[in-house]
Chain A
Amino acid sequence: MNTPLRRVSLFVMLLVVALMANLTYIQVIKADEYRTDPRNSTRKSLEEYSRKRGDILAGDEVIASAVETGGRLRFQRTYSDGPVYAPITGFFSDRFGSRGIEAVENDVLNGSDDRLFVRRLSDLITGRDPEGGKIRLTVDPHVQRVAYDQLADRGFTGAIVALDPKTGAVLAMANTPSYDPSPLADHDNNVQAEAWAEYTEREDGPMQNRAIREIQPPGSTFKLITAAAALENGWRSDTGVSPDPVVTLPNTSTDLPNFNRNPCGIGQSATLKVALAESCNVPFAEISGELGADTMRETARAFGFDEELFIPVRVEASSMGELGDAAQLYQAGIGQRDVRVTPMQNALMAATIANGGTRMAPYLVDSILGPDLSTLDSTSPDELNQAISPETAATLTDMMIASEEYTGGGGDILPNVTVASKTGTAQWGTDPGANPPHAWYVAFAPAEDPQVAVAVLVESGGDHSLGATGGKVAAPLGREVMRAALGGG
């Protein structure tokens, strides 16, 4: 019986070898695939509670931090001024994933980024508790606060974006209504679930990132692009344009009137400058028709249309939509029909004009810091393209100064500061007459040496209902934000 016993021993050894070979396949060869499988995320995110997640800073102000709980899950993510910064920070939830900077800079915040390698190594050797890196945002806490309050205090639904036109740094990015990300990071799953249900079920959509994810008709603010296209193609600011109060869309019987069917300028003749200042629809519809779809689209693209940006949070691409026939082209020329933009895109447009036609890439992350606040990496401003010539930019600036004067109601936001702006009152929906229009305001200041560019969107007329205009509803907000950015109260 000993020979078969020996063979059985051999067989058992083979079984164990087979098990170990299989384990090698799973734990060595396929390990990475299994580790990174999205369905394996519970393991990953819960693991992250045990390490101190890095702070998110706006200037020197800590807006998101990991607070020691004393419990077994050592750290809980909390957000000071949660609703103010929610569109930027996003949230960090083990049940509902993460969004915003929390999501895109996760590797830095949880400490697994390669730039933190040396730090990790020294943590391991010294036995120091491992900590994630910190993210310092470009956001100016004062400007951000003003932007949020301007919207929230009036109970508006909308968004404000402020950029530094020279660098592309995002100075403010606010949304209303907003939400508090703290409960979504709560260790109590029920708190998380309740907050999630509330935020997602609310009619006014507090979790919609209006500043960068929602595209809306730009209305007259788009005339800046039509004007830029005209100036780049032979027009001058004093070129004569049609003063007519109404134009019939080509091949249709539909009229396209100016605002309140007013004639443009003094009624006999008008210039491009006057047309932009008074925001006449007829001339810009005609210019668009004359320049043609290709030129219009090309100019819009130079300003950033049809392009997703990652700042590093994703920005929805703005679009001109279909430009099939002349009627569509006429309407697109004044920012209606299928033209859709994000407030970020409109702010970028203003910033590009302010920066002499050079379009700088917008960015939210100023620098990546180690746990000890040492700078590990910082973002250097990145030039995207020369959208328009410096001459065109200068002419547009002049025209925008005139527009700001025509809009009125502002006065000087600060002594000796000139503002260049354009308003927009965008109709939307299937029955534009019954929907309160979206009010827009894009601007930069000081006009001669721009420090800040803003875009304000107030959806559905704000507090003016059907009578809303960009000048009445959106402009005051934009001016306050610029005042804050330029050092005023």
Chain B
Amino acid sequence: MSQPMNQPSPPGDESPTVAAAPAGPPPPPTRRTTELWLLAFSAALLSIANILVDANQEAALTSQILYNGAAFLALFAAAHFAVRKWAPYADPLILPFAALLNGLGLVMIHRIDLAMASRLEINPEDWQAVYYGGPLVGRQILWMVIGVAFFILTLWRIKDHRPLAKYGYTCGLVGLVALALPGIIPFQSIAPTINGAKIWLTFPGFSIQPGEFAKILLTIFFASFLVSKRELFTAAGRTFLRMNWPRARDMAPLFVAWGASVGVLVFERDLGTSLLFFGMVLVMLYIATERAAWVVLGLTLFVGGCLVAYQLFGHVRQRIANWIDPFATYDEAGGGYQIVQSLFSLGSGGIFGSGLGSGRPDIVPEPHTDFITVGMGEEMGFVGLSAVLILYLLLVMRGLRSALAVRDSFGKLMAGGLAFTLGFQVFVVVGGVTKLIPATGITAPFLSYGGSSLLANYILIALLLRISDAARRPAAPPKPKPKQAPIAEAHTEMVARPT
């Protein structure tokens, strides 16, 4: 634990066990019961959402909905008991929020399944419905179960986050390879280009997006790397423009990160992952060094990279044109059609939405992956989508709060990095589909259809829970004491003072 010397004692920290007096204050409440109630609440909420969808789509309500709700609750009860056993002091809000988001995603996917099925009923050759290949909700449930299994596995196998620092370079290497693999492999059969992006690896039976896992591995790498080199980054350098700039050779990791993100942009055509990855590195550098200079430098590099990419690559220019005025490029191939449909969907939803199951979110391309939040905006309105965004914000805030509370630098950096990555990903995907930033092509954590994304994000929150558990866990009762007992028990006053 190496707090910087100029750091005042963090006022917000929950450190009730600073001085572990023998009697000690009672251990802090674990708040696991809160978590269980919140999970039950989520299950109830999702059952209502499910009822609304089915009522509006089919007008036939079956007891299936109750079973669904019960199964959902049972699955997360398993996750809950894993937390109770292996991370009893973990934050009680993180798991229910993730579960609720995941459940809402399931409801939306189920809803789009129904819409696509009815479109096929009208026209069996409806290409969008055929391409959709639904129903997908069953597969997504399978991925959810696997995701929760990995969540439990992570909690079980990783009892303490600090030893992870030892595997920093391994994680970095594996992460970088994972990130680069789809771009490097030239074979379309293994690394296909889907929707213009080359971010997939396909295997018989399933396919994965290694970038989703790379974001966790690289966070671990950067956390361990920055902690070990922190003194260097903070101390060395000179002042210029009232800012303390790092030495040129210390900037190497930043350049590597920049190169990698530009590589992702160019070879995998994946603006989303590129942006996400670079944002993560910048923020972690900033957290580790507390120097704004890194951010300025990083942003300059990124803007520079973007300008060059804009000059060199047609697909980047097209994205920007679609962003500036999607209506102008509406009829072009690869033009603004998608984003315009998204705006129509959101506009048609208005403030309160059409109601779950009463809208037409299936008209928007990719309604179950990148654009799933748009469907929510149409059917639950501005109010509903804002609620979802706030749910995300709370989830991220709980993660950042754990980062504040945990006592070791590695844990702080890792939790900060993971939580920020989650929040930034939400911004990049929602901003992209709502024309706030150019469209990116990235999944909405927990909501979007897709196994890689779900799996990676469940592992991510398992790690956050691990760190938050460490933050709130009362320090272990001072074990050395019994050993030192003979000395300790020898009362100082009993020692005779030589005269």
Contact = CB atoms under 8 A, between A and B. Distances in A.
A344 B436 CA distance: 54
Given A5-B400, A23-B382, A43 B348 contact: yes
A23 B386 contact: yes
Interface string A1-43: 1111111110111011011101110111011111101011011
A23 B344 contact: no
Interface in B237-258: none
B487 interface: no
B58 A19 contact: no
Interface in B4-29: 4, 7, 10, 12-13
Contacts of B386: 20, 23
A4 B12 CA distance: 14
A29 B186 CA distance: 47
A42 B346 contact: no
Contact of A26 (B7, B343, B413, B426): B343
Interface in B272-325: 283, 286-288, 290
Q: Which of B385, B409, B427 has the most CB of A within 10 A?
A: B427
A15 B287 contact: no
Interface stretch (B44-52, B94-102, B117-125, B451-459): B117-125
B347 A30 contact: yes
B431 interface: yes
A397 B219 CA distance: 96
Interface centre among A1, A5, A13, A30 (most CB of B within 10 A): A1
A19 B431 contact: yes
Size class of the B contact interface (CB-based, 8 Å):
35 or more
A404 B403 CA distance: 100
B424 interface: yes
B400 A72 contact: no
A427 to B, nearest CB: 45
Contacts of A77: none
A334 B12 CA distance: 98
Q: How large is the interface on A (under 10, 10 to 19, 20 to 34, 35 or more residues)?
A: 35 or more
B435 A4 contact: no
Nearest to B13: A2
B381 interface: yes
B66 interface: no
A19 B363 contact: no
A223 interface: no
A187 B122 contact: yes
A5 B412 CA distance: 9
Contacts of A1: 3-4, 7, 287-288, 290, 409, 412-413, 416
A35 B121 contact: no
Given A8-B416, A37-B344, A43-B344, A3 B290 contact: yes
A190 interface: yes
A5 B330 contact: no
Given A16-B390, A189-B123, A5 B404 contact: yes
Contacts of A9: 397, 400-401
A67 to B, nearest CB: 16
Interface in B424-476: 424, 426-427, 430-431, 434-436
Nearest to B417: A8
B82 interface: no
Contact of B382 (A24, A34, A187): A24
A6 B400 CA distance: 8
A481 B416 CA distance: 85
B350 A28 contact: yes
A72 B347 contact: no
Contacts of A47: 360
A6 B397 CA distance: 10
Contacts of B118: 72-73
A8 B349 contact: no
Contacts of B413: 1
A15 B350 contact: no
A3 to B, nearest CB: 6
B260 interface: no
- Most A CB contacts (10 A, CB to CB) among B122, B288, B381, B412 go to B122
A19 B436 contact: yes
B122 A188 contact: yes
A92 B430 CA distance: 37
A71 interface: yes
B266 interface: no
Interface in A270-311: none
Which of B347, B420, B427 has most chain A Cβ within 10 Å? B347
Contacts of B83: none
Interface hub of A2, A8, A32 (most chain B Cβ within 10 A): A2
A124 interface: no
Contacts of B7: 1-3
B377 interface: yes
A12 B434 contact: no
Contact of B360 (A13, A19, A43): A43
A121 interface: no
A376 interface: no
Nearest to A190: B123
Nearest to B331: A39
A384 interface: no
A28 B351 CA distance: 6
Contact of B385 (A3, A23, A42): A23
Contacts of B346: 23, 26-27, 31, 34
A282 to B, nearest CB: 58
A373 interface: no
A46 interface: yes
B392 interface: yes
Contacts of A12: 393, 396-397, 400, 420, 423-424, 427
A16 B389 contact: yes
A34 B343 contact: yes
Interface in B366-423: 377, 381-382, 385-386, 389-390, 392-393, 396-397, 400-401, 403-404, 409, 412-413, 416, 420, 423
B130 to A, nearest CB: 13
A5 B344 contact: no
A270 to B, nearest CB: 65
B121 to A, nearest CB: 6
A264 B121 CA distance: 70
A40 B344 CA distance: 6
A3 B8 CA distance: 10
B193 interface: no
A4 B330 CA distance: 42
Given A4-B287, A15-B427, A23 B377 contact: yes
Enumerate the 3 nearest inter-chain pairs by beta-carbon distance, A residue then B residue, closest first. Answer: A34-B347, A27-B382, A189-B123
Given A9-B401, A40-B347, A42-B363, 18 more contacts: A2-B13, A5-B404, A8-B287, A8-B400, A12-B397, A12-B420, A15-B427, A16-B427, A19-B434, A19-B436, A20-B386, A22-B435, A26-B343, A28-B350, A30-B343, A32-B347, A34-B348, A189-B126
7 contacts: A1-B4, A2-B7, A8-B416, A12-B420, A16-B389, A19-B430, A34-B346
